Amino acid sequence: METRNLRKERVGVVKSNKMDKSVTVSIERKERHPMYGKFVKKSSTFVAHDDKNDCNIGDTVRIMETRPLSKTKNWRVVEILERAK
C-alpha cells in the first residue's frame, strides 16, 4: 500500500473569483518585527482551483496543496468554511 505525502492546508479569504474554475485566496498572518517587537500583519495570495465555481468574494475557505494545475495554480479548494454576508 502506497502512502501519500502530507499536504499543506491553509485557511483564507477569497479575494477574486473572476476566473473560470479558479479563485484568488488571501491568507493573513501576524509576524513579530525582528527589531521593534511590534506585530505586523503580512499576507500571501494563492491561486486555487475551484472545480464547481461555488466560491464568492469574501468567503472563508480551506485550501490544500496539490500538483501543479497551471503556471500559477498548485492549490485547490477543499471546503467553504463560511459564506460572505
pLDDT digits (tens, 9 = 90+) for 37-62: 999 999 999 999 999 999 999 999 99
The pLDDT confidence band at residue 74, using thresholds 50, 70 and 90, is: very high
Model's pTM, two decimal places? 0.87
CB atoms within 10 A of CB 40: 10
All three cell numbers of 23: 479563485
Closest CA to 28 of 15, 41, 16: 41
Q: Stretch 18-28: mean pLDDT, rounded? A: 97
Distance, in Å, from the CA atom of 51 to the CA atom of 80, rounded to the nearest integer, reads: 12
Can you tell me whether residue 83 is helix, strand or coil?
coil
If you count them, how many residues does the chain have? 85
Q: What pLDDT is attached to residue 66?
A: 96
pLDDT at 4: 78
Domains for the chain: give ranges and CATH numbers: 9-82 (2.40.50.140)
CA 42 and chain centroid, separation: 14
